[in-house]
Every structure is written in C-alpha cells, then in structure tokens.
Amino acid sequence: MSLLAQYLPGSSTLHRLPAGAKLLGLLALAVLSQLLGSWSARCLLLLVVLGAYPVSGISLRFALRQLRALWWVLLAIGIAQVVIASWPVAVSVVVTVLLLVLAAGLVTLTTTTTAMSDVVVRLLGPFRRFGVAPERVGLLIALSIRAVPVVLGLADQIRDAQRARGLSASPRAFAVPLLVRALRHAQQTGDALIARGLDD
C-alpha cells in the first residue's frame, strides 16, 4: 500500500488541526531536528513522533509498515556514516530521516488532499499577478495523488498478464504497456475533467 495516496479518516486532534498548521509543524520539526546536536535528543524526538500515531488513532504497526521500502536505504546510510564518520553520527542521521518520514506520513494520513491543496492554493495566491493559476496547481497535486494507485493497479495487471502468458520479467515488456496504458488513462481523465466542467 502506498503511503502517498492514503488518508485515514478520524476525529483526533491532529485530524481536526488545519492543514497549514500541520505543514508548519512539519517544517518546525525539520528545523528542530537539525538544531538538536545529540543523537539521544533526536531519538527522544522520534519517540514523540511515534507516540503521536496512537494518539491520532493510527496503530504503530501501520506506522512501521510504511517504512518497509526504506529499511535498506536506512541500513546503507547507517553503514556509510559509521565508515566515514562515527556511530553517533550514523544514529543521528538515520533517526532524523526516520522521524521526518514518520512525521510527514502522519500529516498525510490525517489530512485530506483537498485540505492540503487548499494550503497550496492560498500560498500561491500572490503569484496570480504573474500568471500562476493556484487552483490548477492544487488540482494537479490532487490528480497526481489520485494517479498513484491507478498506475500501481495498471502495473499489477501487466505483471499478472505477463505471468499468465509465462513471460519472464523483461523491463521493456513491462514498461511499454505500462506507458501506453498510463497515457490512455491520462487521456480518459482529461476527457472526464472536461466533461465535469474543468474548462469553466
């Protein structure tokens, strides 16, 4: 399951908090994590972020599941840091990445795309005079998030079709139909947007 496309409905304080405040909080956390010098302080911050999951009604197991694809990267970063620096630096770097990914995940899980894109629309408001259409940028974000599960679904269908035909894994045989189907989906979505009055 992709973290990017997930919003978990709920009524926790974090769910009710305005999206702008959550994004500011995320920014503040990123700055704070850089300002904290010691690895133990960063670990404490990680515990706080982890603790925010159950407080928001989301299980820790779910929190850790979204890191599945990241473990190998974290391991590689950790080993590299031990070799070129020291183990306290390695712990600091790995914990910082972990806590920021988990915090960003928590914001995503507790914020609807509409609320998130509304913030972007507000932030881009002053750029209207330069020809920027903030609503279009907001829609682009929503469409991109919506496209993630669709493209993953297309990839699954192609993999299944290849297996059913006994074909070995070939990057070209996978990429070409995926690209064609993704473009067809984009064309259909374009038609749907026009039919739903996007050109108003």
Partner 1 sequence: MPLIEVEAVSHTYPAQSRPVLRDVTVELNERRVGVIGANGSGKSTFARLLNGLVLPDRGTVRIDGLDTRRDGKRVRQLVGFCFTDPDAQIVMPTVAEDVAFSLRRRQLQGRALADRVAEALRRFGLERHADHPAHLLSGGQKQLLALASVLVTEPALVVMDEPTTLLDLRNARLIADLVAGLDEQVVLLTHHLDLIDGFDRVLVFDDGRIVADDRPASAVTAYRQLIGAGR
Q: Which is nearer to partner 1, 119 or 145 (CB)?
A: 145
Q: Does 12 bind partner 1 (CB under 8 A)?
A: no
Q: Does 188 bind partner 1 (CB under 8 A)?
A: yes
Least distance to partner 1, CB of residue 143, Å: 6
Contact residue for partner 1 among 3, 6, 30, 101 (CB under 8 A): 6
Binding piece for partner 1, criterion CB under 8 A, among 58-66, 69-77, 110-118, 120-128: 110-118
Contact mark string toward partner 1, 59..98, x via CB under 8 A: ----------------------------------------
Least distance to partner 1, CB of residue 185, Å: 6
| DSSP codes of every residue in 93-118 | HHHHHHHHHHHHHHHHHHS-HHHHHH
Contact residue for partner 1 among 44, 60, 161, 192 (CB under 8 A): 192
Q: Does 196 bind partner 1 (CB under 8 A)?
A: yes
Contact mark string toward partner 1, 145..164, x via CB under 8 A: xx--xx--x-----------
Binding piece for partner 1, criterion CB under 8 A, among 47-55, 88-96, 144-152, 166-174: 144-152
**From CA 54, how far away is CA 60, in angstroms rounded?**
7
For the chain, counts of helices (H) and of strands (E):
9, 0
Least distance to partner 1, CB of residue 55, Å: 19
Residue 4: which residues within 8 A CB-CB, separation 6 or more? 108, 145, 148
Buried (b) or exposed (e) across 164-177, using 16+ Cβ within 10 A? eeeeeeeeeeeeeb
**From CA 50, how far away is CA 30, in angstroms rounded?**
15
Angle at 148 between CA 145 and CA 152, to 5 degrees: 170
Q: Do residues 151 and 197 make contact, with C-beta atoms less than 8 angstroms apart?
A: no
Q: How far is CA 144 from the centre of its chain?
A: 11
Least distance to partner 1, CB of residue 142, Å: 6
Angle at 54 between CA 48 and CA 57, to 5 degrees: 140
Contact residue for partner 1 among 33, 56, 111, 113 (CB under 8 A): 113
Q: Which residues bind partner 1 (CB under 8 A)?
A: 5-7, 9, 112-114, 142-143, 145-146, 149-150, 153, 185, 188-189, 191-197, 199-200
